[in-house]
């Protein structure tokens, strides 16, 4: 048994010595199986990085210092990269995979110096083009502002972000986006000039479009939604309902009157609104804000009734009246005719101004129609109440000329008491075609009450009656047959005119202009005239110059005839007297 064991050991020793690698033994290298060597070579070839190669490789961040990032790229040693190259990615952390390019194989300390920026630049254009072709979303770091927009770092390439492509709403502060990492879509590439244009708005619009379809599909009248004030104009407010815009007209913002929507809302304010109406495709949506509150008329107390006095503020003035807000959202109209007892209508601006606090009386009240009419003049007594005492017929007064008509003048005796002077009662002597020839608006005029109609609230006045009628005196002074001296003023159709005084202008017919020598009077020529017609009612005076010597002739003829009859009874001694009479008649 022992012999067999010794025999086996001897055989094994012989085989070991026969197969022993004396070369490896002499070189001091442990024996390694060939298969293991081959496997090791394959692993090295597969995983170990050749630091002489300029290809972009992927590394892993294994440590971060204050200024550098340590990157493992499966080389003999780790590499370092300045953190400045990762400003676009402030969230860089241990374990992140990054692309790098070997910048220096080994520095003095034996470390690799890597470049992430160069690696990004090499790969950037491929990635940018690929993102543009596929419409992929990319991350970018907003570096700074520039004219018209922002500069964005995308894969190491400086891309342009237009201001209009930042957001769907107007941007008021561009600086808020600087040093921020955002998502973008590559919208345009200019290969010739190496320009890249990106958009953040395109991503928002895509999301909004989906939201919009969903929101529009669910819209119903009367639905209450939350929105954000997007824009404010003078006529209303645009509300963003989450991708869908609606308009609140200024009249639907508040039950009270407002001058501008910014009195009620402000930009970016969140508020609830109600859908009032929309068109068929729901592209125009009409919203309301005041409809979410009870109508102020519903809160108006039952104690307010016709005849009550109320106080309010003038909110709107028109020519026909003024609107008074007697409570929040509750308005009443004071018509201009209810502002004064005067029947002479004026503009409402003559009585009140916007913002005035006024007191008024409730004249009508319709709660169902939500209408109220008010009056100011009712706060004072009606001046027509004792009109017969203050303005009896025949009494004289002074008034202010307020208005003209073709047929007369309206004169205000006091507030609420107007009377009419017919054009024929303005002057005893002047022929007036229009009242403006006699007085002006605002003039103070003396008047006499001619007629008074209390029920009809009408007062008839006269101005000429305040003085005596001069034609009563002229009727005696210029009676028919009286003779007056004057000069021809004008030669008119069928005659001429002569002015005897400021009131009397006499007409001289053509045949009565003839002088004793057969010629006719001319303009400016003075002569005696005999009144042949005087009409006080129509103020008509007709005179004649010819009648002066014609009457003389008749008188002389009459005298001659009488003398001739007496001649038969005279003696020859009277013949001289007859001759003298004859010579006189012949003008000798």
pLDDT in tens, 275-307: 888 876 666 888 998 888 877 777 677 778 888
CA distance 254 to 258: 7
- 483 and 555, same domain (yes or no): yes
Q: Among residues 387, 326, 393, which one has the least CA distance to residue 359?
A: 326
Residue 201 confidence (pLDDT) above 90: no
DSSP state at residue 503: S
Domain annotation covers residue 552: yes
Task: Mark residue 211 as left, alpha or beta (left: phi above 0; alpha: psi -120 to 50; beta: remaining).
Answer: alpha
- 351 and 333, same domain (yes or no): yes
Instruction: Name the least confident of 310-314, 445-449, 571-575.
Output: 571-575
CB 255, CB 293: distance < 8 Å: yes
Portion of the chain with pLDDT greater than 90, in percent: 7
- State the CATH number of the domain containing residue 451: 2.40.50.140
Q: Among residues 507, 511, 532, which one has the least CA distance to residue 520?
A: 511
Single pTM value for the model: 0.42
Residue that finishes a domain, picked among 425, 445, 462: 462
Residue 48 confidence (pLDDT) above 50: no
CB 532, CB 542: distance < 8 Å: yes
Question: Could you write out the DSSP letters of every residue in 362-392?
Answer: EEEEETTTTEEEEESGGGS--TTTTHHHHS-
57: which strand partners?
A: 100
State the Cα torsion 248-250-251-256 to the nearest 10°: 120
Residue that finishes a domain, picked among 266, 288, 310: 288
CA distance 43 to 186: 41
Domain annotation covers residue 240: yes
Domain annotation covers residue 47: no
Residue that finishes a domain, picked among 205, 234, 264: 205
- 227 and 304, same domain (yes or no): no
Residue 59 confidence (pLDDT) above 60: yes
Strands 245-249 and 195-199: unpaired
Domain annotation covers residue 46: no
CB 232, CB 268: distance < 8 Å: no
- 258 and 236, same domain (yes or no): yes
- 561 and 478, same domain (yes or no): yes
CB 252, CB 288: distance < 8 Å: yes
- 280 and 223, same domain (yes or no): yes
Report the pLDDT averaged over residues 13-25: 60
Domain annotation covers residue 578: no
Residue whose token pair is 């990054």: 98
3-state secondary structure 257-312: CCCCHHHCCCCCCEEEEEEEEECCCCCCEEEECHHHCCCHHHHCCCCCCCCCEEEE
Residue 25 confidence (pLDDT) above 60: no
Domain annotation covers residue 570: no
> Tell me, what's the pLDDT at 46?
47
> Tell me, what's the pLDDT at 51?
46
Q: How many domains does the chain have?
A: 6
pLDDT band at 543; cut points 50, 70, 90: very high
pLDDT tens for each residue of 361-418: 999 888 878 889 999 888 888 888 888 888 898 899 999 998 888 889 998 888 888 8
Residue 207 confidence (pLDDT) above 70: yes
- 233 and 267, same domain (yes or no): yes
- 393 and 422, same domain (yes or no): yes
- 557 and 524, same domain (yes or no): yes
C-beta pairs of 494-497 under 8 Å, 24+ apart in sequence: 496/521, 496/523
Mean pLDDT across the chain = 79
Instruction: For Cα atoms 548, 549, 555, give the angle at the middle one, nearest 5 degrees.
Output: 100
pLDDT band at 586; cut points 50, 70, 90: low
CA distance 256 to 274: 18
Instruction: Name the least confident of 226-240, 328-342, 516-530, 544-558.
Output: 544-558
- 372 and 400, same domain (yes or no): no
Residue span of the structural domain in which 241 resides: 219-288
Report the pLDDT averaged over residues 480-495: 88
Residue 343 confidence (pLDDT) above 70: no
- 372 and 339, same domain (yes or no): yes
- 375 and 390, same domain (yes or no): no
DSSP state at residue 395: -
Domain annotation covers residue 130: no
pLDDT tens for each residue of 218-264: 777 888 888 899 899 989 999 888 777 889 999 888 888 888 898 88
Portion of the chain with pLDDT greater than 70, in percent: 81
pLDDT band at 163; cut points 50, 70, 90: confident
Distances (CA, A) of 521 to 300, 325, 351: 87, 78, 63
CA distance 561 to 563: 5
């Amino acid at each position: 048994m022992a012999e067999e064991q010794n025999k086996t050991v001897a055989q094994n020793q012989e085989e070991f010595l026969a197969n022993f690698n004396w070369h490896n033994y002499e070189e001091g290298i442990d024996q390694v199986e060939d298969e293991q060597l081959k496997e090791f070579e394959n692993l090295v070839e597969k995983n170990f990085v050749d630091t002489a190669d300029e290809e972009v490789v992927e590394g892993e961040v294994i440590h971060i210092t204050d200024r550098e990032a340590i990157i493992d790229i499966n080389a003999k040693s780790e590499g370092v990269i300045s953190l400045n190259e990762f400003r676009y990615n402030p969230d860089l952390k241990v374990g992140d995979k990054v692309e790098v390019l070997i910048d220096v194989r080994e520095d003095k300390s034996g470390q690799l110096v890597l470049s992430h920026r160069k690696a990004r630049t090499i790969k950037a254009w491929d990635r940018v083009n690929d993102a543009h072709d596929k419409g992929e979303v990319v991350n970018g770091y907003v570096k700074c502002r520039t004219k018209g927009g922002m500069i964005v770092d995308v894969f190491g390439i400086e891309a342009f972000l237009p201001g209009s492509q930042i957001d769907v709403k107007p941007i008021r502060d561009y600086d808020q986006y600087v040093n921020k990492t955002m998502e973008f879509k590559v919208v345009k590439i200019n290969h010739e000039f190496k320009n890249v244009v990106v958009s953040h708005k395109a991503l928002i619009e895509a999301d909004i479009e989906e939201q919009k379809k969903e929101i529009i599909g669910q819209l119903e009248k009367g639905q209450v939604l939350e929105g954000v004030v997007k824009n404010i104009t003078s006529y209303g407010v645009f509300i963003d309902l989450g991708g869908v815009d609606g308009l609140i007209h200024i009249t639907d913002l508040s039950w009270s009157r407002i001058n501008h929507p910014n009195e009620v809302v402000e930009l970016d304010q969140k508020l609830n609104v109600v859908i009032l109406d929309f068109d068929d495709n729901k592209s125009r949506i009409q919203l309301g804000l005041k409809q979410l509150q009870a109508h102020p008329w519903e809160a108006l107390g039952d104690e307010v009734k016709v005849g009550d006095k109320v106080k309010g503020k003038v909110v709107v003035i028109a020519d026909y009246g003024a609107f008074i807000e007697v409570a929040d959202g509750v308005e009443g109209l004071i018509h201009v005719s209810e502002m004064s007892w005067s029947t002479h209508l004026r503009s409402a601006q003559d009585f009140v101004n916007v913002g005035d606090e006024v007191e008024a009386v409730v004249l009508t009240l319709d709660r169902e129609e939500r209408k109220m009419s008010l009056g100011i003049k009712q706060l004072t007594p009606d001046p027509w109440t004792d009109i017969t005492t203050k303005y009896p017929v025949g009494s004289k007064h002074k008034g202010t000329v307020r208005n003209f008509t073709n047929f007369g003048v309206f004169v205000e005796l006091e507030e609420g008491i107007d009377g009419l002077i017919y054009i024929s009662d303005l002057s005893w002597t002047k022929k007036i075609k229009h009242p403006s020839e006699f007085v002006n608006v605002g003039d103070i005029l003396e008047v006499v009450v001619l007629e008074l109609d209390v029920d009809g609230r009408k007062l008839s006045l006269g101005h000429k009656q305040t003085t005596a009628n001069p034609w009563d005196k002229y009727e005696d002074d210029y009676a028919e047959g009286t003779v007056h001296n004057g000069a021809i003023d004008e030669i008119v159709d069928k005659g001429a005119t002569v002015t005897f005084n400021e009131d009397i202008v006499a007409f001289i017919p053509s045949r009565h202009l003839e002088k004793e020598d057969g010629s006719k009077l001319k303009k400016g020529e003075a002569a005696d005239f005999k009144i042949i017609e005087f009409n006080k009612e129509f103020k008509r005076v007709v005179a004649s110059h010819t009648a002066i010597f014609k009457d003389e002739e008749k008188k002389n003829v009459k005298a001659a005839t009488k003398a001739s009859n007496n001649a038969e009874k005279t003696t020859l001694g009277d013949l001289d007297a007859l001759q003298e009479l004859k010579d006189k008649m012949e003008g000798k």
